[in-house]
Amino acid sequence: MPYTAPNQKVITIHREPLGGSFLGINNENWKYAARVLGAHAFLLYIYFASNKNEYVLALSPQAIQQEIGMPPSTFRDQLKKLEAFGFLIPGKGNMYHFYEAPARDTRSESARDALNSSEEKSAAAVQASTPLASQTPP
pLDDT in tens, 115-128: 556 555 554 554 45
For the whole model, what pTM was predicted? 0.64
Q: What are the tens digits of pLDDT across the range 19-70?
A: 654 457 888 999 999 999 999 999 999 999 988 888 899 999 999 999 999 9
Query: Which tens digit of pLDDT belongs to each residue from 78-110?
Result: 999 999 999 999 999 999 999 999 986 444 455
Contact 119, 111 (CB under 8 A): no
The domains of the chain are located at 9-135
Instruction: Go through 113-135 and write b for each residue having 16 or more CB atoms within 10 A of its CB, e for each that does not.
Output: eebeeeeeeeeeeeeeeeeeeee
